[in-house]
Amino acid sequence: MNHTREILEQLQSGVLSVDDALLRLKEEPFADLGYAKVDLHRTLRQGAAEVIYGAGKTPEQIIGIAEAMRRRSDAPVLITRLDNAAAEQVAEQLPLTYHDSARIGIVGTPPEPDGLGTVLIATGGTSDIPVAEEAALTAEVLGNRVVRLYDVGVAGLHRLLHHMDDIMGAGVIIAVAGMEGALASVIGGLADCPVIAVPTSVGYGASFGGVSALLSMLNSCASGVSVVNIDNGFGAGFLASRINHIRPKK
């Protein structure tokens, strides 16, 4: 609201006319590219990186948005759900690092980790790794130190218990699992930090494309667990970063 006061004072002091004041109150806080409204205030509000959701956008649109972002800020740009072919086109125009299995592209250099603790990312099986990597790369590009703990599903519990130290030492944990998604509950019962559960569409038959894992995680008997959408590695990584960068307020 400080900005409003400033405008009002300029109006009062005659620097602005009523029409100019009205205009500035309405003035668009984002650049309009026609096909997408780029929110240029967001970096400020959200920190270390800009994000483009690549699915359903043409390479041209992605490049256009990324360039607009980079004109205003030095922050790296994270492009999610970017397929191979599109990545190649983007890479011709921009300094893109592409992570194949996670379908993530990064323009620019990820920052040094500056979060409170580490983000531990665990998966039930090897098929969950692409989603986990989406989370991991997102968290890294947003300035977090990430520890990966893959293929530690509950069917072989000793694999998980063996890494008890990592679990107890984490600041935030992301539990990625398909099928019955029990990993989230078991980790939720062991850990004493926030746990973000990511159901994956790994499985067949009555896994219903991730619904089984999703329900399992929503009904977790362990406290301190919350859930994001099926296969939403980005969302988990983003939220983990927010938690890991939490600052005292008010």
Name the residue nearer to a second copy (CB basis): 95 or 161.
161
Q: Is the dihedral of CA 144, 94, 37, 99 positive or negative?
A: negative
Name the residue nearer to a second copy (CB basis): 31 or 91.
31
Closest CB 77 distance from a second copy, rounded Å: 15
Among 54, 98, 107, CA closest to 77:
107
Question: Exposed, middle or buried: residue 103 (CB in 10 Å: 0-12, 13-18, 19+)?
Answer: buried
Closest CB 87 distance from a second copy, rounded Å: 19
Closest CB 214 distance from a second copy, rounded Å: 6
Name the residue nearer to a second copy (CB basis): 17 or 95.
17
Report the C-alpha gap between 249 and 1 in whole angstroms: 18
Closest CB 94 distance from a second copy, rounded Å: 19
Name the residue nearer to a second copy (CB basis): 140 or 180.
180
51 touches 58 (CB < 8 A): no
Strands 172-177, 195-199: pairing kind: parallel
